[in-house]
Amino acid sequence: MRKCSLEKINLVFAEIAKAYTLYLPTDQNDSSAKFTKWEEGSVWSNALNTVRSPKDFFFPQAEDLMEFKVEGKNIDITDIRQESEDFVIFGVRACDVKSFEILDRVFLVDPVDSFYASRREHGIIVSLACTKPSETCFCTTFGIDCTEPAGDVSIWKTETELYWQANTEKGEKLLSYVDSLTEDANTKAVDEQKEKTSVVMKKLPLANLTTDGFGAGKTMELFNNEAWDELSQTCLGCGTCTFVCPTCQCYDIKDFDTGNGVIRYRCWDSCMYSEFTKMAHGNNRLTQKERFRQRFMHKLVYYPENNDGLYSCVGCGRCLAKCPISMNIAKVMKKIGGEK
């Protein structure tokens, strides 16, 4: 393990930026935080988490896939992909790091999504352990330890110092660039911080929320549960929960006529929308109840059914914080799974 003084953090960022494009959480004018490209003068945010997750770096909200021109019966297709640059996402929380594993099981299975795969190959994740979890956090429900974040490099921040631990070959290469700014360190301060944070986690409002009653093999038992009627009645179908979620992966593919050809692009979509997957015959889920149920059944039943028991939620709490009517996955789990 290595450490450096927080007084040197801008020097560290500058060294990393010489070798990679560096992104880190910064405060915005609306009091929120978002990942932005580091430039001289950028200030690392103290916010627990960003409003939008780092999913954007691998699965952006909109991206062009190809261009083509049609002349008679001839179609001229242009591959517009560009090789991804090496980049670093600094300060990713443990819940968001876990979300990449969930997305990988969608985009890196055959047929592999080459756009996503290229970004994953070139991206380096520097994770940050939590010290002040929020009341909306429930990552422990899904077996995530916020004091032991994964990633290529794990970091722990105390009031005066930053501790670094390389976990992968990419992480070791990254740390080599800041070797002169860091020094060997023991784990005493980190261990003490982990213990204090673990105590806080056990006192959070959702500390006892469990996945009991959910998971593989529960489809028939839960699908017709009468509670779906009550739970879905207040849902606005706005899709806010899906857009802030680090694991949602629904998208649409559309064509845009530029007047000089056509651009085919991909953009995020939401299973909460009435026109999601709508085709000539109509839509398979016609009511808000059906769409509401689909979202939570996918995260808590369908996904673990097909992915070795891995749930498609990481307990980051973004949907709890942003839902305009305070209807979220935690309430669903309590109502359907039984109050804990």
Note the pLDDT tens digit of each residue in 320-339: 999 999 999 999 999 998 65
* pLDDT computed for residue 340 by the predictor: 46
Q: Which residue has the higher pLDDT, 285 or 289?
A: 289
Q: Is residue 177, in this structure, part of any structural domain at all?
A: yes
Residues 171 and 225 in one domain: no
CB atoms within 10 A of CB 2: 18
Residues 41 and 156 in one domain: yes
Q: Is residue 290, in this structure, part of any structural domain at all?
A: yes
Domain interval for residue 321: 219-337
* pLDDT computed for residue 332 by the predictor: 94
- Which range has the worst mean pLDDT, 74-78, 117-121, 195-199? 74-78
Residues 174 and 248 in one domain: no
Q: Is residue 257, in this structure, part of any structural domain at all?
A: yes
Note the pLDDT tens digit of each residue in 47-84: 999 999 999 999 999 999 999 998 888 889 888 877 77
Strands (E) in 6-129, as ranges, are: 21-27, 33-37, 62-71, 74-79, 87-92, 123-128
* pLDDT computed for residue 38 by the predictor: 96
The crossing angle, in degrees rounded to 10, of helices 329-337 and 288-297 is 90
Q: Is residue 297, in this structure, part of any structural domain at all?
A: yes
Residues 226 and 271 in one domain: yes
Q: Give the count of domains, the chain.
A: 2
Residues 268 and 189 in one domain: no
**Residue 76 to residues 80, 150, 256, 277: CA-CA distances in angstroms?**
13, 44, 16, 28
Q: Is residue 196, in this structure, part of any structural domain at all?
A: yes
Q: Is residue 206, in this structure, part of any structural domain at all?
A: no
Q: Is residue 272, in this structure, part of any structural domain at all?
A: yes
Residues 313 and 278 in one domain: yes
Whole-model pTM: value is 0.92
Statement: residue 282 has pLDDT above 70: no
Residues 195 and 273 in one domain: no
> Mean pLDDT, the chain, as a whole number?
92
* pLDDT computed for residue 167 by the predictor: 97
Residue 152 neighbours by CB under 8 Å, 6+ apart: 124, 125, 126, 166, 167, 168, 170, 171, 174
